[in-house]
Structure 1
Amino acid sequence: MDILRCKTPSMVRKEIYVYLLAYNLLRSLMWSAGTTHATPPLRLSLQGTRHHLNNFIPQLLTAYSKKRLQIYSTLLKVIAHKAVPERPGRSQPRVRKRRPKAYPLMTKPRHELNKQLQTA
Protein backbone atom coordinates (compact mmCIF):
# COMPACT_ATOMS: atom_id res chain seq x y z
CA MET A 1 0.00 0.00 0.00
CA ASP A 2 2.86 2.39 0.75
CA ILE A 3 4.16 1.97 -2.79
CA LEU A 4 0.84 3.14 -4.20
CA ARG A 5 0.72 6.17 -1.93
CA CYS A 6 4.11 7.49 -3.01
CA LYS A 7 3.32 7.30 -6.74
CA THR A 8 1.76 10.35 -8.27
CA PRO A 9 -1.12 9.95 -10.72
CA SER A 10 1.16 10.90 -13.60
CA MET A 11 3.63 8.14 -12.64
CA VAL A 12 0.81 5.59 -12.53
CA ARG A 13 -0.37 6.81 -15.93
CA LYS A 14 3.16 6.43 -17.33
CA GLU A 15 3.41 2.94 -15.90
CA ILE A 16 0.14 1.95 -17.57
CA TYR A 17 1.39 3.38 -20.86
CA VAL A 18 4.56 1.32 -20.60
CA TYR A 19 2.53 -1.86 -20.06
CA LEU A 20 0.33 -1.01 -23.04
CA LEU A 21 3.41 -0.32 -25.15
CA ALA A 22 4.95 -3.67 -24.20
CA TYR A 23 1.67 -5.47 -24.90
CA ASN A 24 1.37 -3.86 -28.32
CA LEU A 25 5.01 -4.69 -29.08
CA LEU A 26 4.35 -8.36 -28.33
CA ARG A 27 1.14 -8.38 -30.37
CA SER A 28 2.85 -6.76 -33.35
CA LEU A 29 5.67 -9.30 -33.08
CA MET A 30 3.07 -12.11 -33.06
CA TRP A 31 1.37 -10.54 -36.09
CA SER A 32 4.68 -10.33 -37.99
CA ALA A 33 5.56 -13.91 -37.11
CA GLY A 34 2.13 -15.20 -38.10
CA THR A 35 1.90 -13.40 -41.41
CA THR A 36 5.53 -14.16 -42.34
CA HIS A 37 5.25 -17.90 -41.68
CA ALA A 38 1.59 -18.49 -42.66
CA THR A 39 0.40 -19.17 -39.11
CA PRO A 40 -2.79 -17.53 -37.82
CA PRO A 41 -1.54 -14.77 -35.45
CA LEU A 42 -4.43 -15.37 -33.06
CA ARG A 43 -3.19 -18.93 -32.48
CA LEU A 44 0.21 -17.74 -31.22
CA SER A 45 0.92 -17.60 -27.51
CA LEU A 46 1.41 -14.18 -25.95
CA GLN A 47 3.45 -15.56 -23.06
CA GLY A 48 5.45 -17.77 -25.41
CA THR A 49 6.24 -14.73 -27.53
CA ARG A 50 7.32 -12.81 -24.43
CA HIS A 51 9.53 -15.70 -23.34
CA HIS A 52 11.19 -16.04 -26.77
CA LEU A 53 11.72 -12.28 -27.07
CA ASN A 54 13.38 -12.18 -23.64
CA ASN A 55 15.71 -14.99 -24.75
CA PHE A 56 16.60 -13.26 -28.03
CA ILE A 57 17.14 -9.72 -26.68
CA PRO A 58 20.82 -10.19 -25.67
CA GLN A 59 21.68 -11.53 -29.12
CA LEU A 60 19.76 -8.74 -30.85
CA LEU A 61 21.53 -6.08 -28.79
CA THR A 62 25.06 -7.32 -29.53
CA ALA A 63 24.62 -8.14 -33.24
CA TYR A 64 25.43 -5.81 -36.12
CA SER A 65 22.69 -4.87 -38.61
CA LYS A 66 22.93 -7.77 -41.09
CA LYS A 67 23.23 -10.38 -38.34
CA ARG A 68 20.40 -8.66 -36.41
CA LEU A 69 18.03 -9.21 -39.36
CA GLN A 70 18.93 -12.91 -39.40
CA ILE A 71 18.35 -13.19 -35.64
CA TYR A 72 15.03 -11.33 -36.01
CA SER A 73 13.87 -13.70 -38.76
CA THR A 74 14.88 -16.66 -36.56
CA LEU A 75 12.88 -15.14 -33.71
CA LEU A 76 9.82 -14.85 -35.96
CA LYS A 77 10.24 -18.47 -37.05
CA VAL A 78 10.48 -19.68 -33.43
CA ILE A 79 7.40 -17.69 -32.43
CA ALA A 80 5.37 -18.97 -35.40
CA HIS A 81 6.48 -22.55 -34.75
CA LYS A 82 4.96 -22.53 -31.25
CA ALA A 83 1.30 -22.15 -32.22
CA VAL A 84 -1.31 -22.94 -29.60
CA PRO A 85 -3.45 -25.93 -30.64
CA GLU A 86 -7.08 -25.39 -31.60
CA ARG A 87 -9.31 -25.95 -28.58
CA PRO A 88 -12.96 -25.62 -29.55
CA GLY A 89 -15.71 -25.30 -26.98
CA ARG A 90 -13.46 -23.95 -24.21
CA SER A 91 -15.90 -21.42 -22.79
CA GLN A 92 -16.61 -21.98 -19.12
CA PRO A 93 -19.78 -20.95 -17.29
CA ARG A 94 -19.42 -18.36 -14.54
CA VAL A 95 -20.57 -20.18 -11.42
CA ARG A 96 -19.48 -20.48 -7.82
CA LYS A 97 -17.90 -23.81 -7.10
CA ARG A 98 -18.21 -23.93 -3.32
CA ARG A 99 -21.66 -24.53 -1.96
CA PRO A 100 -22.80 -23.20 1.39
CA LYS A 101 -22.69 -25.74 4.21
CA ALA A 102 -25.80 -26.69 6.18
CA TYR A 103 -24.02 -26.25 9.53
CA PRO A 104 -24.56 -23.25 11.80
CA LEU A 105 -21.82 -20.67 12.34
CA MET A 106 -19.45 -21.05 15.29
CA THR A 107 -20.62 -18.35 17.72
CA LYS A 108 -19.06 -19.70 20.93
CA PRO A 109 -15.49 -20.70 21.79
CA ARG A 110 -14.51 -24.18 20.69
CA HIS A 111 -14.06 -25.54 24.23
CA GLU A 112 -17.63 -24.51 25.15
CA LEU A 113 -19.00 -26.20 22.03
CA ASN A 114 -17.03 -29.38 22.79
CA LYS A 115 -18.39 -29.37 26.37
CA GLN A 116 -21.92 -28.84 25.05
CA LEU A 117 -21.45 -31.69 22.54
CA GLN A 118 -20.23 -34.09 25.26
CA THR A 119 -23.19 -33.34 27.57
CA ALA A 120 -25.78 -33.73 24.84
Structure 2
Amino acid sequence: MSDASSYAASELANLYFQRWDVEPYFRDIKTTKGMDLLRCRAPKMVEKEILMHFIAYNAIRLLMVEAATELGQVPRRLSFKGSIQALRQWEPQFSRTLYPREQRRLLGALRSSIA
Protein backbone atom coordinates (compact mmCIF):
# COMPACT_ATOMS: atom_id res chain seq x y z
CA MET A 1 0.00 0.00 0.00
CA SER A 2 1.29 3.42 -0.82
CA ASP A 3 -1.57 5.42 0.68
CA ALA A 4 0.04 8.28 2.61
CA SER A 5 -2.77 8.31 5.15
CA SER A 6 -2.08 4.66 6.09
CA TYR A 7 1.30 5.39 7.65
CA ALA A 8 2.24 7.92 10.30
CA ALA A 9 5.13 10.20 9.40
CA SER A 10 6.90 9.28 12.64
CA GLU A 11 6.76 5.56 11.73
CA LEU A 12 8.22 6.22 8.29
CA ALA A 13 10.94 8.41 9.77
CA ASN A 14 11.82 5.67 12.28
CA LEU A 15 12.03 3.05 9.51
CA TYR A 16 14.21 5.36 7.43
CA PHE A 17 16.51 5.94 10.41
CA GLN A 18 16.79 2.18 11.04
CA ARG A 19 17.65 1.56 7.40
CA TRP A 20 20.52 4.02 7.52
CA ASP A 21 21.66 2.46 10.76
CA VAL A 22 22.05 -0.88 8.95
CA GLU A 23 24.26 0.43 6.12
CA PRO A 24 27.43 0.74 8.24
CA TYR A 25 26.84 -2.78 9.55
CA PHE A 26 26.80 -4.14 6.01
CA ARG A 27 30.03 -2.23 5.31
CA ASP A 28 31.58 -3.73 8.45
CA ILE A 29 30.70 -7.25 7.32
CA LYS A 30 31.82 -6.83 3.72
CA THR A 31 34.82 -4.55 3.91
CA THR A 32 36.15 -4.30 7.46
CA LYS A 33 35.58 -7.99 8.21
CA GLY A 34 36.94 -8.96 4.76
CA MET A 35 33.90 -10.70 3.31
CA ASP A 36 34.11 -8.68 0.11
CA LEU A 37 36.26 -11.45 -1.35
CA LEU A 38 35.20 -15.05 -0.79
CA ARG A 39 37.99 -17.56 -1.27
CA CYS A 40 36.00 -20.78 -1.61
CA ARG A 41 34.66 -22.01 -4.95
CA ALA A 42 32.34 -24.92 -4.18
CA PRO A 43 28.80 -23.78 -3.22
CA LYS A 44 28.77 -25.67 0.10
CA MET A 45 32.16 -24.24 1.07
CA VAL A 46 31.01 -20.71 0.14
CA GLU A 47 28.02 -21.22 2.46
CA LYS A 48 30.36 -22.30 5.25
CA GLU A 49 32.68 -19.36 4.63
CA ILE A 50 29.79 -16.88 4.78
CA LEU A 51 28.47 -18.54 7.94
CA MET A 52 31.89 -18.26 9.58
CA HIS A 53 32.03 -14.55 8.71
CA PHE A 54 28.62 -14.04 10.32
CA ILE A 55 29.61 -15.99 13.43
CA ALA A 56 32.79 -13.93 13.83
CA TYR A 57 30.89 -10.70 13.14
CA ASN A 58 28.26 -11.50 15.76
CA ALA A 59 30.89 -12.53 18.32
CA ILE A 60 32.70 -9.21 17.82
CA ARG A 61 29.42 -7.28 18.08
CA LEU A 62 28.57 -9.14 21.31
CA LEU A 63 31.95 -8.19 22.74
CA MET A 64 31.27 -4.57 21.75
CA VAL A 65 27.86 -4.62 23.46
CA GLU A 66 29.41 -6.07 26.62
CA ALA A 67 32.17 -3.45 26.55
CA ALA A 68 29.70 -0.61 26.05
CA THR A 69 27.38 -1.89 28.77
CA GLU A 70 30.20 -2.19 31.32
CA LEU A 71 31.26 1.39 30.74
CA GLY A 72 27.80 2.90 30.27
CA GLN A 73 28.22 3.70 26.59
CA VAL A 74 25.97 3.17 23.58
CA PRO A 75 27.18 0.13 21.54
CA ARG A 76 26.59 1.79 18.17
CA ARG A 77 29.10 4.50 19.13
CA LEU A 78 31.93 1.97 19.30
CA SER A 79 34.09 1.31 16.27
CA PHE A 80 33.86 -2.12 14.68
CA LYS A 81 37.23 -1.63 13.00
CA GLY A 82 38.76 -0.46 16.28
CA SER A 83 37.34 -3.52 18.00
CA ILE A 84 38.97 -5.81 15.44
CA GLN A 85 42.26 -3.99 15.92
CA ALA A 86 41.99 -4.41 19.70
CA LEU A 87 41.25 -8.12 19.28
CA ARG A 88 44.29 -8.54 17.06
CA GLN A 89 46.46 -6.69 19.56
CA TRP A 90 45.23 -8.79 22.50
CA GLU A 91 45.21 -12.14 20.65
CA PRO A 92 48.74 -13.21 21.72
CA GLN A 93 47.75 -12.94 25.39
CA PHE A 94 44.61 -15.02 24.85
CA SER A 95 46.37 -17.68 22.79
CA ARG A 96 48.44 -18.71 25.81
CA THR A 97 47.05 -21.31 28.19
CA LEU A 98 45.55 -19.29 31.00
CA TYR A 99 43.77 -19.96 34.24
CA PRO A 100 40.08 -18.93 34.22
CA ARG A 101 40.75 -16.02 36.59
CA GLU A 102 43.46 -14.66 34.27
CA GLN A 103 41.18 -15.12 31.26
CA ARG A 104 38.44 -13.06 32.97
CA ARG A 105 40.94 -10.35 33.85
CA LEU A 106 42.25 -10.16 30.29
CA LEU A 107 38.73 -10.19 28.85
CA GLY A 108 37.81 -7.26 31.10
CA ALA A 109 40.91 -5.38 29.95
CA LEU A 110 40.05 -6.15 26.31
CA ARG A 111 36.50 -4.82 26.78
CA SER A 112 37.90 -1.66 28.35
CA SER A 113 40.24 -1.28 25.40
CA ILE A 114 37.34 -1.63 22.97
CA ALA A 115 35.13 0.86 24.81
Q: Same fold (TM over 0.5)?
A: yes
The answer for unaligned runs of 5 or more in structure 2 is 1-37
The answer for unaligned runs of 5 or more in structure 1 is 81-120
Distance in 2, Cα, partners of 1:61 & 1:67: 12
Q: Is the aligned partner of 1:41 residue 2:59?
A: no
Report the aligned-residue RMSD. 1.5
Q: Is the aligned partner of 1:53 residue 2:91?
A: no
TM-score when scaled to structure 2? 0.62
Amino acid paired to 2:101: K
Partner of 1:29: 63
Number of residue equivalences: 76
Distance in 1, Cα, partners of 2:45 & 2:113: 35
Amino acid paired to 2:51: Y
Amino acid paired to 2:100: S
Q: Is the aligned partner of 1:74 residue 2:109?
A: yes
Q: Which has the larger radius of gyration?
A: 1
Higher helix share: 2
Give the drift of 1:33.
0.2
The residue matched to 1:39 in structure 2 has which SS? coil
Tell which deviates more after alignment, 22-31 or 53-62: 53-62
Amino acid paired to 2:112: K
Distance in 2, Cα, partners of 1:64 & 1:50: 24
Partner of 1:86: none
- C-alpha distance after superposition, 1:54-102 (max 9, x if no partner): 111210121221111101000011111xxxxxxxxxxxxxxxxxxxxxx
Distance in 2, Cα, partners of 1:44 & 1:71: 19
Q: Is the aligned partner of 1:65 residue 2:100?
A: yes
